[in-house]
Every structure is written in C-alpha cells, then in structure tokens.
Amino acid sequence: MIYELIEQKIRRPERIILTGRSHRGELLSYLQNAEPALVKKVNILWKAIKKAVTDKDIEYIRQTGSVQQGLIDAWCIVVTEWAEAALEPAWKRAIGSAGNSMFEALRRPRKAAEFNSVHSNILKWMAERGGILIRELTEGQAKTINALLRHQVFQGITSNYQLSRMLLSFIGLLQKEAIAVANYRMELISQGVTLKKTDGLVEIYARSLLKNRVKRIARTELCSAYNFGQWESLRQMRESGLVDEIEKEWLTADDERTCPVCAGLDGEKVGHDEQFSCGQMHPPAHVQCRCSLGYSALRR
Ligand SMILES: [Zn+2]
C-alpha cells in the first residue's frame, strides 16, 4: 500500500512553470536590448524607399496625381531585400533567444533537448509575416502618397523639384499622419508664416512622427518574433515528448494595464493550441503591445 502510494507520487507528472508573472521570460529586457539596433535598420529602409523614387516617377505623379505600379514594384524589391538582410536576422535572434531560454527553464536532470531554431515552422512564420509586412509597407506608402496628392497642400504644384521635395518629406508616414502634417502646413501658411519657417517646422513635426513609427515597427516585430519563439519552443517540447498539457496565460505589461485591447485579457488561460478571446495565439494583440505569456506544462 505504502509502496503503491510512493510509486504513484513518483509517477505523477510535475507541473512546471516556464514563464509567469514573477519571471516573464525576459521579454521586456530583450526588447530593451534589441530595439535600438532594429530602429537603425528601419531608418535605413526609409532612406532606401526614398532613393527608389526616380525623376520619371515624380513626373508621372505630377501628371496623373497618383503613384504608378512601377514605383510600387520598385519599393517591393527594396523592402524585400531589406527584410531578408536586416529584419530576418533580427527575427531569428529574437526567436532563438526566446526558444533557448524556454528550454533552459525546462532544466531536466538529464541533458534536455535543444531548441531547433531552424525548424521549418519558423521559416514558414517568417515567410508569412514578411509577406504581410512587405505589402503593408509598399502599398501603404502608395496609399499615403495618393491621399496626399488629393490634399489642398499639393494643389497647384507645377515644378517636379518642389513636388519631389515635398513628397519625400512624407515618406514613411502612415496616411493619417501624413494628412496631419499636410494640415499643419496649411495652418502655418494660412497664419502667414514664411515659407522657409514653415518648411522647417513641418520637417520637425514629420520627423517626430516618423521617429515614433520606426520605434513602433521595431518593437512590434521583435515582440511578435519573441512571442512566436516561446510558443514554438513549447510546441517542439511537446513534439519531443518532454512536456504535455501546456497552458498559457495572458500577462499584460505594467504599462498596458489600461490598454483597452489587453486589459480584459490579463489572466486569461487557454491551452497551447487555443486562441485567446482576442483571436490571437500569442501577443502582440496590437501595434506597440508589450504583453507576454505565462507558460506552464506537465513535465514528462
Ligand atoms: Zn498588449
């Protein structure tokens, strides 16, 4: 009887906590360390997007009032090359870091298996996410410019040089941001501010908006890759029979307690393959989201 009880106790699988409220898998410190380098790379991207605009493109834009497909295609090549050279290595590092620290947390008495950071699942994730981002950046850029060309601020420009100078200062901004900058320009002009001063003030405003967007892109991409890396590492652990019955819990970051999207998700628990009530498998739930997941599983 006693032996049976002891045996039962030995056999009973132990539920281990891999990440939780007290140790969030180092997501925030990872973001802090990796963000500055990616921010620099996103800035390089905008410069390359600007450089891809030729005199011919400007002439076409001035004559027709819209961006031609040829320019969108050229941007697509620029963004794709950038994604391969700059973004993918950053994603890979984030996924690898997240996956490795999960395997470390598993700490078995015998040597634990290692995270496979080149698993086909990871390559598939990067290809899908890259495709979405490339479309967003190229088609979004064209939409922003097309919307601007209909704005009052662009009416009556007859010189290619002037059009090019003005348009390029809006590159990298989202449509609503670009419209806000254009409105600001109109306001300054209507107040009688000199053209030179207007140019300077508008540039400062556009730059500050761009700086924030660059940061948002870097943070969102790193956060997505890190969260995916954690999720994938658990999938690999389960596949290798190391763990079972994985549970994940949504944890908001301290500064996200009041986020309308994430506040209601805090503490929600679902299985590894299940979606949270927001429809996501893991954070981020939105741009700038810094939420993370608490993972626990039965050790086999
Ligand atoms: Zn969030």
What are the structural domain ranges in the chain? 27-240
Give me the pLDDT at residue 45, please.
Answer: 95
Q: What is the Å distance from ligand 1's center to 112 Cα?
A: 32
What is the Å distance from ligand 1's center to 250 Cα? Answer: 9
> Cα of 236 to ligand 1 centre, how many Å?
25
Q: What is the pLDDT of residue 201?
A: 94
The 10 Å Cβ neighbour count of residue 26 is: 16
DSSP reduced 3-state for 246: strand
How would you write the pLDDT of the chain (300 residues) with one tens digit per residue? 566 655 555 566 788 889 988 776 688 888 889 999 999 999 999 999 999 999 999 999 999 999 999 999 999 999 999 999 999 999 999 999 999 989 988 876 556 688 999 999 999 999 999 999 999 999 999 999 999 999 988 888 889 998 998 899 899 999 999 999 999 999 999 999 998 999 899 999 999 999 999 999 999 999 999 999 999 999 999 998 889 999 999 998 876 666 788 888 999 999 999 999 999 999 998 888 888 899 999 988
| 282 C-alpha to ligand 1 centroid (Å) | 10
Cα 261 to middle of ligand 1, angstroms = 7
Find the Cα–Cα–Cα–Cα dihedral 79, 84, 88, 89, rounded to 10°.
-130
The contacts of residue 121 (CB under 8 Å, 6+ apart) are: 232, 235
How far, in Å, is the centroid of ligand 1 from the Cα of 258?
Answer: 10
CA distance 286 to 264: 14
pLDDT of residue 4: 60
Residue 160 CA to ligand 1 centre (angstroms): 44
* pTM to 2 decimal places: 0.89
Distance 115 CA to ligand 1 centre (A): 26
126 CA distance to ligand 1 middle (Å): 21
* Residue 178 Cα to ligand 1 middle (Å): 26
Residue the block writes with tokens 């307690």: 257
Distance 17 CA to ligand 1 centre (A): 21
What pLDDT is stored for residue 113 in this prediction? 81
Distance CA 250, CA 235 (A): 17
